[in-house]
Amino acid sequence: FRAADRVVKLALDNPRMVGNPMEPRACSGTYDAATQKYALYACTQGTAGMRGQLVYTMGVPDDKIDVIAEDVGGGFGVRFNMYPEYCAVLLAARKTARPVKWTGSRSEVFLSDEQGRDVVSTSELALDASGKFLAMRFSYIADLGAYLAPTGPFINTQGVVACLSGVYEVPAACARVKLAVTNKAPGAAYRGAGRPVMSYMIERLVDQAAVELGVDPAELRRRNLVTQDKFPYKAANGNTYDCGDFEGVLGDALAASDWGGFPARRAHSAARGRLRGRGMAAYIEASGGGFAPSDQVELRFDAGGAITMYAVSHSHGQGHETSYAQIVSSVLGVPMEKFRLRNGDPAVRLVGNATGGSRSLLGVGSVMQLAAKQVVEKGLALASKELEAAAADIEFREGSYRIKGTDRAVALLALAQKYAGTPNALDVKTEGKFGVTFPNGCHVAEVEIEPETGIAEIVRFTAVDDAGNIINHQIVEGQMQGGITQGAGQVFGEHAVYDPDTGQLLTGSFMDYPMPRAGLVNGLAIREHPVPTATNPLGAKGVGEAGVSGSLPALMNAVADALRQAGVARFDMPATPDRIWRAIRGAKAGGRS
């Protein structure tokens, strides 16, 4: 910083968020006195981790607790950890010798569910005379609430700084972190689990630097991106980005968003009395990893030819049922309709990570592929016996084993049916753990503000993302749409507000806490720019949280850009009509907001 020609500094507030899955949290518990065994039915993102927390808290052996999670309406990070009610229903079931159920009301979960974000920060960027980045420095305080959630400290430290310098070639970067305990609900994961906090700090700071330097924000980013010839690139925090095409992603975003046509669109909006702003964000995330030592899966065949896939990671909107089936089907050549997925089946005790951190496909999906290949190898021995031929003379293609150069063949499913009574004839249990990946992208947003009312509207949004190899394009698009919308929800209103005098939650219902609605994000265009990673067999990088990491800073940069036309120098979330209106009025009165 001492050698810098210019230092740009920006203070930001990333508001507290409530996860608000589709239905409030609920659970039921049973106790079998004969076996001294508990069973918990709960909304959770992973049964193995939940069982481990219950075992630790209740002091009972692992084989004395089953956790069962059926379909739940979303998780968003708030269903990762155990809650007190889960222990309470189990203890009550033992006490009463009856099943016990608890269902939280919406107002109860507003008060008690884990919440996310709530970070106050100061960011600094050092630049030389040519606009090259020399160093980044961040100082922030994260509010962990009144009780420590198991994942709260990790998310607000390592989760935030995992991509400390973003997609930029920055020689030095550091973060000073303070964790505060307050009267609020526990602070832990909310979609992105720390990564959107860092992308927000970096990308707001880079846009502010572009304003102060009088440089096009896309050009300033281009000058400082890690170029393709630098991969694998060791970032300032020690993480190594194994691959990427940051310049290509930026170029695609500029073309898809018609970056050069913005001045004409701004003039058109001005002619209608509206303020039009444009914002960009080039983000990167660290995805994968996990707390479990590995991810285990099982593939089981039945006599009817159905294949059941067993895994720990829970599908609650991510489409695992489809993606895993596609992966295994592509290896086995078996129709998709033959597959079914069981998440965390208590009869099949597996080790593995919960769903979160955009890790399920690259982790569990990769192990599913390994398991499918092992099935093919096991089937080869059976096919050799059936076809009375040496294994070396047999090839597997399109679901059948065939003697090379002949029409003699036997189908995999035919073998499964014939050997259905033979234990583990084709069934496979295997495991694996793969390295962290670095999905990235560039988002461009345009908003219009009606200055007389303060109402802001998203009029165009372009997202170009590198999620590595894509297994299912529709699922990826759906994940991106959801993430972008959640980012928009935070920018334009979501904010858990506590009374500063009494400590009472003031936004404890949907009357006070505005959720994003259909139609919030208009003109949405999603593009793929896949650069496969070599850290897992699928070449996948993860996509579940990318939408938030890109949309949050891009949209807020667009709002800030629009408000600068009205003389508002600084503005931060939430961009509600009232706050926007007051900022414009304050600027008109001669103040600076």
| 246 membership: H or E segment, kind and range | helix 246-256
Question: Which of 574, 538, 188 minimizes the C-alpha distance to 364?
Answer: 538
* Digit-coded pLDDT (tens) for 303-350: 888 999 999 988 888 999 999 999 999 999 999 999 999 998 999 989
Q: Which two tokens stand for residue 41?
A: 């039915």
Can you tell me the distance from the alpha carbon of 482 to that of 168, in angstroms, rounded to the nearest whole number? 27
* Residues 193 and 156: beta-carbon distance below 8 Å: no
For residue 178, pLDDT over 70 is answered with: yes
Q: CATH number of the domain at 115-224+245-287+436-588, please? A: 3.30.365.10
Match domain 295-432 to its CATH number in 3.40.50.12280, 1.10.1740.10, 3.30.365.10, 1.20.140.10.
Answer: 3.30.365.10
pLDDT over 70, % of the chain? 99
> 130-156 burial, b if ≥16 CB within 10 A, otherwise e?
ebbbbbbbbbbebbbbeeebbbbbbbb
Can you tell me the distance from the alpha carbon of 364 to that of 137, in angstroms, rounded to the nearest whole number? 36
For residue 91, pLDDT over 90 is answered with: yes
pLDDT band at 380 (very low <50, low <70, confident <90, very high): very high
| The two domains 26-112 and 295-432 share their CATH topology (first three levels equal) | yes
Alpha carbon of 344 to those of 29, 150, 309: distances in Å? 17, 21, 11
Question: Which of 432, 169, 413 minimizes the C-alpha distance to 282?
Answer: 169
pLDDT band at 74 (very low <50, low <70, confident <90, very high): confident
Question: Which of 211, 124, 289, 228 minimizes the C-alpha distance to 570?
Answer: 211
* Better-scored residue on pLDDT, 73 or 255: 255
Q: Taking the alpha carbons of 270, 273, 275, 278 in that order, is the dihedral positive or negative?
A: negative
Alpha carbon of 399 to those of 229, 396, 416, 532: distances in Å? 41, 7, 12, 27
For residue 514, pLDDT over 70 is answered with: yes
* Structure confidence at residue 593 (pLDDT): 45
Q: Which two tokens stand for residue 497?
A: 């507000």
Residues 6+ apart with CB under 8 A from 85: 25, 27, 102, 104
Residues 6+ apart with CB under 8 A from 157: 142, 177, 179, 194
* Digit-coded pLDDT (tens) for 14-30: 999 999 998 899 999 99
Q: Which two tokens stand for residue 183?
A: 């009267």
- 26-112 under CATH 3.20.20.370, yes or no: no
Q: Taking the alpha carbons of 510, 514, 515, 520 in that order, is the dihedral positive or negative?
A: positive
* Better-scored residue on pLDDT, 245 or 349: 245
Can you tell me the distance from the alpha carbon of 281 to that of 286, in angstroms, rounded to the nearest whole number? 16
* Structure confidence at residue 518 (pLDDT): 87
For residue 381, pLDDT over 50 is answered with: yes
Position 297, amino acid: V
* Structure confidence at residue 73 (pLDDT): 74
* Structure confidence at residue 257 (pLDDT): 99
Neighbours of 178 (CB within 10 A): 11
Give the residue-averaged pLDDT of 418-434: 94
Angle, CA 166 vertex, CA 162 and CA 168 arms, to 5°: 140
* Digit-coded pLDDT (tens) for 544-560: 999 999 999 999 999 99
pLDDT band at 421 (very low <50, low <70, confident <90, very high): confident
Can you tell me the distance from the alpha carbon of 314 to that of 356, in angstroms, rounded to the nearest whole number? 9
pLDDT over 90, % of the chain? 91
Find the farthest-apart pair of alpha carbons in the chain and give their distance in angstroms, rounded: 91
Q: Which two tokens stand for residue 338?
A: 């033959």
pLDDT band at 422 (very low <50, low <70, confident <90, very high): very high
Question: Which of 82, 83, 50 minimizes the C-alpha distance to 65?
Answer: 50
* Structure confidence at residue 591 (pLDDT): 57
Can you tell me the distance from the alpha carbon of 197 to that of 205, in angstroms, rounded to the nearest whole number? 12
Average pLDDT for the chain? 96
Can you tell me the distance from the alpha carbon of 353 to that of 542, in angstroms, rounded to the nearest whole number? 15
Q: Which two tokens stand for residue 391?
A: 């294994």
- Parse the chain into domains and list their residue ranges: 26-112, 115-224+245-287+436-588, 295-432
pLDDT band at 252 (very low <50, low <70, confident <90, very high): very high
